[in-house]
Amino acid sequence: MFLDHWHTPQETAFAILIAAWGGNADFLQVLRPLGNMEMGHLTSLQTKIIPSRTDAGDAISAIVLAIHMITEFTTLKSGKPGSYTRKIVLLTDGQGMIEDEGMEQIATKINECGINLVVM
């Protein structure tokens, strides 16, 4: 299994979540935890976001991970959703293969959670 290079319990949990959806977390990396985004954060992310030199990767796995993170971050202790703007921005060159298995479930979850998905 591909979990040997994941270091924190949260990273391992993410890898297991992605594997449960049939995806591959090998090329996913959370660059910043969820929270308010300020200009300073954008500046620091500019140096971390670099184009991949391969077609390997799984946009759907990234979306599943983002849904999970957003749901956990925006759910109140009462179990009700908080009043947050929920948005996923997926940056891609569109060259990688996308498996459509489970897409209907993923789309349903995005709609249930009130998440806006933007693909660029």
State which amino acid sits at residue 17: L
pLDDT at position 98 is: 75
Per-residue pLDDT of 47-74, as tens digits, reads 877 776 766 657 887 888 889 889 888 8
Per DSSP, the three-state class of 75 is strand
88: phi then psi, degrees, rounded to nearest 5: -115, 125
Mean local confidence (pLDDT), 106-118: 92
Task: Select the more confidently predicted residue: 109 or 30.
Answer: 109
pLDDT at position 118 is: 92
Tally of domains within the chain: 1
pLDDT band for 93, please (50, 70, 90 cuts). Answer: confident
pLDDT at position 24 is: 59
Highest-pLDDT range among 28-32, 39-43, 74-78: 74-78
| Number of neighbours of residue 49 by Cβ within 10 angstroms | 8
Q: Which domain holds residue 36?
A: 2-119
First to last CA, the chain: 31
Task: Tell me the CATH number at 24.
Answer: 3.40.50.410
pLDDT at position 2 is: 36
Least confident of 21-30, 73-82, 89-98, 99-108: 21-30
